[in-house]
Amino acid sequence: MTPRPLSTKDLFRPLQYVAGVGPDRADLLAKLELKTVADVLFYFPRTYEDLTTTVRIDQLVEGAEATVVGVVHSVERQVTRAGKVIVGVLVAQENQLMRALWFNPTFGIKDLQKGAWVAVRGAPKRKTMRWEMIHPKVMRLDLPTAPPLEQLAKPGLRGADVAAASSRPDDPSADSIWLGKYRPVYGLTEGLNQREMRKITTNIVRRYADLLEEALTADLIERHQLCSITQAVHGIHCPQQASDVEIAQSRLVYQELFALQLGLAMRRYRMTANAQSPILTDTAKIRGRILRLFPFELTNDQQQAIDQVCEDMGRAIPMNRMLQGDVGSGKTVVAIYSLLLCVAHGYQAALMAPTEILARQHFNTLQKQLKSSRVRMGLMTGSVSAVDRAKLESDLAAGKIDIVVGTQSLVRGNIPWQRLGLVIIDEGHKFGVKQRAKLKQGGCDPHYLVMTATPIPRSAAMTLFGDLDLSVIRQTPPGRQPVKSYLVELEKRDSWWQFMRKQVEQGRQAFVVVPRIETQADDDQTVTATRIFEELTQGVLQGLRVELLHGQMSGSDKQRIMKSFHRGLTQVLVSTTVIEVGIDVPNANCMAICSPQRLGLSQLHQLRGRVGRGSHAGYVGLVLDEISQPETRERLQLFCRTTDGFELAEADLKIRGPGDLFGTRQHGLPPLLIADLFRDHEWLVKARNDAQALVQADPELADPSRKRLRQLVMGKYGKVLELGDVG
C-alpha cells in the first residue's frame, strides 16, 4: 500500500500517532509541552556535546572534556558496606589504559563486557600512573569488526571514521551515529532519556522538517544572509559540525526576535492609530504653579524627563512612556508633575502600585507634597472596606476626586471614572499585561506612564517594553549619602550584628531582610524571617524595639508596623522583601540581608535603596548563612563593589536571564525558545529595526506575500495583541 503523501497539516499531528512515539511516550513528551510534530521540531537542544574528534589517551589534558575510543580491557564491580555499587572500567588503546569510574551506575554501564568497543567522554584527571574519568558518558559502538587499535589511536582521529564502520549508521537509537558530529542534549522529564529523545527528534526531523513553510520574505533572508527554515531545523537538531549549529541558530534567533518585535510594533500601531486622548498642554502658567511646590532644584535628567512627558501629553494620541531611574534618582518628582498637569486640565489621574505598602507610601507623599493645594485625593487598596470603596467609586463618578492612588484594586471591577486622563504605573514590570489593560477600559484613552526603579538593560527593555518610549534618569539629586556594602562571612556575623546595634544606639534605625517567612518543614538550617526575629530579639538586639513585617499580614497590621517605623518608635524592622520598593525612612541607615544568595542583583540593589536616604551614610551587610559557591560569591562581590544599578542589571540579565528578572510569563509574553537577550543583542536590534519599518509600510501585514509571517505573529502573540495596550 502506497503511503499517503504528507502535507503541512501533518505538522499538527498529535505525537501519539507518530511512528516511534505511541501513547506512552506521547504522555511523557506532553510534560515538556510537546504535543504535536511542530512542537518537537521547535524544541531546541539546550546544549551540545562535541564528538567531532577523538584523542589518544596520552593526549588528554586535565579538566578538558575529551572523547576516547577504545576497547573494554576489564570490568571491576564492587559493592560497599552501604550497598552502593562502584563500577570501574579500563579502556585500552594499544598499550595505554584509562580508567572510567561510576558510582551507582545505570543499567547500561553495569552491562558493559570485556572486549566491547566504546567511546568514553568526560573530563579526565591524572591519578598517579593513569588517567581517570569520573561518571563519563559512554557510547557502546556497534562495530561489525574491530578496527585496528593503531587506527583508533591516531592523533586527531575523526569520530566519523569510526561511525562509518558502524553496522547501523542510520539508526537514530545507535549512539555511534553521533561520533564525528555535534550531539544534541535536550531538556528531559522523568521516564525519558537522551537516547530516546534523540531518536524521536531525529525521526521527526527527517520525516517532517521539509514540510515547514517559509515565514520570512526573500528580501529579509537575503539581507541578513540567513538559511532556510528547513535547513535551520535540520542544522539545529542534526548538526555535522559547529558551523551547522551557528548557521541554524542565527536563522532561528532572528525569526523569533523578529516575530516578537513585529507583535510589539503592531500593538503600538493599533493603540495609536485610532486612539483619541485628551490634549494636556504644558503652559508657562501651569509649569510655574507646579514647580513652586518643589522646595529644591530639579536635576537635568528630571527636567528632561518632564519635558518628554509634557510633549507626549500635549498630543491627541496616548502617551506610552517608561520612566526608568535608579534607586533614589527622583522619579516621584516627574510623577507628581505629570499628575498635576493632568488635574490642571480638569482630568482625573490614577497612580497604581504593586503593594499596599508602596501605595500608601505614595499617597502619604502626595498628601504631604500637595497639602497647600486644592487637589482632592483618594486611596483604594485591598484593605479598604466595601462601604468606603463604594463611596470612593461614587466620588470618582461625580468628579469629586482628582487623583486616586491604589493597588490592583484599581483593576478589579469597573471603576466609574468621570474623565480619566492619565495612568501612572509604578514598578510596572510587576504587573501583567492584562492588569494594565483593564485600566484603559475605565476611560477613553488615557495617557500612560510606567515607572520602574529597577534599571532594565536595553535589550530587555526592547523586548518586555518594546512598545514604550523610554526616559532615563541617571543623575542622583544632591544630598543622597553614599552606601557601603559588605559581604559578611559566617565567622563575622556576630561583629556585624554588634555594629548594627551600635548604629541603632546612636539614634539610627535598621532593616533586617530575610527572603523567607517560614517553611512547612522547618529545620535548624533554614533561615527564615520568624526565626531571625526570635534569635535577634532574644540575643544581640535584646532590649531594642524590634518588629516583624511580612506580606501575609493583614493590611491594618502592616500599616501599623510601618507607621511605627516611620515615626522612629520601632528601631529595627525584620522583614521579607515586601520593603523592596517605596519605603522612605531617612533615619534608616543600616541593613542586613540574610541569605542574599537567594536574591538577584537587581533585587538586592532595590533593597539597598532603602538606606542612605537621609543625612547619614548607609551600610548594607550581605549576611551569609552557608559557604557559597564560587559563582555566587563572585556575584555578591560585584554587588558590594558597585552601586551602579545599570551595571548590576546587565550582570543580572547575563546570569539569570530576562525570565527571572522580570517574569516574562507575567507579562503575557511566551518565553523565548532559542534567543538570548544578552548574547543576541545585535540580532535584536536588527529585528526591531526591520519590524518597525515593516509595520510602518504594512501595519496589518496584509500583503499576500506576508501571509505566513502574519500567521506566525498572530499564532504566538495574538492574545497579547488583542489587548492593544501598554507594556
Q: Name the pLDDT band for 644 (thresholds 50, 70, 90).
A: confident
Q: What is the reported pLDDT for 441?
A: 47
Assess whether pLDDT exceeds 70 at residue 724: no
Half-sphere exposure of residue 285: CA atoms within 13 angstroms, side-chain side: 3
Q: What is the reported pLDDT for 206?
A: 94
Assess whether pLDDT exceeds 70 at residue 688: yes
Q: Name the pLDDT band for 342 (thresholds 50, 70, 90).
A: very high
Take residue 42 and report the three cell numbers written for it. 521547535
Nearest CA to 619 out of 478, 453, 486 is that of 486
Burial class (CB in 10 A: 0-12, 13-18, 19+), 342: buried
Name the least confident of 2-16, 157-171, 572-586: 157-171
Q: What is the reported pLDDT for 315?
A: 92
Assess whether pLDDT exceeds 70 at residue 614: yes
Taking the C-alpha atoms of residue 213 and residue 725, their distance in angstroms, rounded to an integer, is 31
Assess whether pLDDT exceeds 70 at residue 443: no
Alpha helices by DSSP H, 46-158:
107-110, 149-152
DSSP H or E stretch at residue 653: helix 645-662
Q: Which amino acid is at 684?
A: L
Express each pLDDT in 1-50 by its tens digit.
566 788 899 999 999 999 989 999 999 999 999 999 999 999 999 988 88
Name the least confident of 88-97, 236-245, 476-485: 476-485
Q: What is the reported pLDDT for 149?
A: 47
Assess whether pLDDT exceeds 90 at residue 670: no
Mean pLDDT, to the nearest integer, of 561-585? 85
Express each pLDDT in 284-317 by its tens digit.
999 999 998 888 888 899 999 999 999 999 998 8
Take residue 544 and report the three cell numbers written for it. 531594642
Q: Which residues contact 445 (CB under 8 A, 6 or more apart)?
A: 275, 276, 277, 318
The pair phi, psi for residue 398, each rounded to 5°, is: -85, -5
Express each pLDDT in 171-182 by its tens digit.
555 566 677 778
Give the rounded distance of the alpha carbon of 311 from its chain centre. Answer: 33
Mean pLDDT, to the nearest integer, of 478-491? 84
**Domains defined for the chain, CATH in brackets:** 52-165 (2.40.50.140), 483-642 (3.40.50.300)
Mean pLDDT, to the nearest integer, of 542-565? 87
Q: What is the reported pLDDT for 725?
A: 37
Burial class (CB in 10 A: 0-12, 13-18, 19+), 147: middle
Mean pLDDT, to the nearest integer, of 422-449? 67
Assess whether pLDDT exceeds 70 at residue 581: no
Q: Which 8-state DSSP code applies to residue 382?
A: T
Q: Do 85 and 100 form a contact (C-beta atoms < 8 A)?
A: no
Specify the pairing of strand 66-79 against strand 85-93.
Answer: antiparallel
Intra-chain end-to-end CA distance of the chain, in Å: 55
Taking the C-alpha atoms of residue 443 and residue 278, their distance in angstroms, rounded to an integer, is 11
Greater confidence, 220 or 717?
Answer: 220
For the chain, percent of residues with pLDDT exceeding 90: 40
